[in-house]
Amino acid sequence: MLAYWIPGGTRTLPANASHRIGIGVFVMNEKREVLVVQENTGRFRGTGVWKFPTGVVNEGGDLCTAAVREVKEETATKPQVIL
Protein backbone atom coordinates (compact mmCIF):
# COMPACT_ATOMS: atom_id res chain seq x y z
CA MET A 1 0.00 0.00 0.00
CA LEU A 2 1.50 3.33 -1.00
CA ALA A 3 0.79 5.73 1.83
CA TYR A 4 2.56 8.72 3.34
CA TRP A 5 1.66 9.91 6.79
CA ILE A 6 2.22 13.45 8.00
CA PRO A 7 4.27 13.24 11.21
CA GLY A 8 1.96 13.48 14.18
CA GLY A 9 -1.08 12.71 12.00
CA THR A 10 -3.55 9.89 12.52
CA ARG A 11 -3.31 6.83 10.27
CA THR A 12 -6.78 6.20 8.91
CA LEU A 13 -6.25 3.14 6.68
CA PRO A 14 -7.83 -0.04 8.05
CA ALA A 15 -5.41 -2.79 9.10
CA ASN A 16 -6.67 -5.07 6.28
CA ALA A 17 -6.13 -2.52 3.46
CA SER A 18 -4.54 -4.04 0.35
CA HIS A 19 -4.09 -3.35 -3.34
CA ARG A 20 -3.58 -4.98 -6.71
CA ILE A 21 -2.22 -3.45 -9.88
CA GLY A 22 -4.15 -4.38 -13.02
CA ILE A 23 -2.72 -4.22 -16.54
CA GLY A 24 -3.99 -4.31 -20.10
CA VAL A 25 -1.58 -5.23 -22.89
CA PHE A 26 -1.58 -3.67 -26.37
CA VAL A 27 0.18 -5.92 -28.91
CA MET A 28 0.78 -4.96 -32.56
CA ASN A 29 2.66 -6.94 -35.21
CA GLU A 30 4.67 -5.73 -38.20
CA LYS A 31 1.48 -5.57 -40.30
CA ARG A 32 -0.05 -3.18 -37.72
CA GLU A 33 -2.57 -5.82 -36.70
CA VAL A 34 -3.68 -5.54 -33.08
CA LEU A 35 -4.06 -8.58 -30.82
CA VAL A 36 -7.44 -9.01 -29.15
CA VAL A 37 -8.74 -12.04 -27.27
CA GLN A 38 -11.94 -13.56 -25.96
CA GLU A 39 -11.99 -14.85 -22.39
CA ASN A 40 -12.33 -18.56 -21.63
CA THR A 41 -13.04 -17.71 -18.00
CA GLY A 42 -14.18 -14.58 -16.19
CA ARG A 43 -17.09 -12.22 -16.55
CA PHE A 44 -16.82 -11.85 -20.35
CA ARG A 45 -16.73 -15.62 -21.02
CA GLY A 46 -19.18 -16.57 -23.75
CA THR A 47 -20.28 -13.00 -24.46
CA GLY A 48 -18.48 -12.59 -27.78
CA VAL A 49 -16.61 -9.55 -26.41
CA TRP A 50 -13.11 -8.98 -27.82
CA LYS A 51 -10.56 -7.30 -25.54
CA PHE A 52 -6.87 -6.73 -24.95
CA PRO A 53 -5.12 -9.33 -22.78
CA THR A 54 -5.46 -8.27 -19.13
CA GLY A 55 -4.35 -9.39 -15.70
CA VAL A 56 -2.61 -8.32 -12.53
CA VAL A 57 1.00 -7.64 -11.56
CA ASN A 58 2.27 -10.19 -9.04
CA GLU A 59 3.49 -8.84 -5.71
CA GLY A 60 7.07 -7.66 -6.16
CA GLY A 61 6.78 -8.04 -9.95
CA ASP A 62 7.21 -5.44 -12.67
CA LEU A 63 4.89 -4.28 -15.44
CA CYS A 64 6.84 -5.73 -18.39
CA THR A 65 7.12 -9.17 -16.82
CA ALA A 66 3.41 -9.15 -16.03
CA ALA A 67 2.53 -8.00 -19.57
CA VAL A 68 4.55 -10.80 -21.18
CA ARG A 69 3.08 -13.37 -18.76
CA GLU A 70 -0.52 -12.31 -19.45
CA VAL A 71 -0.09 -12.44 -23.24
CA LYS A 72 1.56 -15.84 -22.94
CA GLU A 73 -1.23 -17.15 -20.67
CA GLU A 74 -4.02 -15.90 -22.94
CA THR A 75 -2.49 -16.72 -26.34
CA ALA A 76 0.23 -19.36 -25.79
CA THR A 77 2.73 -17.02 -27.52
CA LYS A 78 5.59 -14.99 -26.08
CA PRO A 79 5.66 -11.36 -27.27
CA GLN A 80 8.76 -9.24 -27.71
CA VAL A 81 8.70 -6.15 -25.50
CA ILE A 82 9.61 -2.91 -27.27
CA LEU A 83 9.58 0.28 -25.23
Task: Establish whether 73 is a catalytic residue.
Answer: yes
CA-nearest of 53, 82, 83 to 67 is: 53
Candidate list 59, 70, 73, 74, residue with the active-site label: 73
Question: What φ, ψ does residue 71 adopt, rounded to 5°?
Answer: -65, -40
Angstrom distance (rounded) from CA 9 to CA 75: 48
Query: Which are the catalytic amino acids?
Result: 73
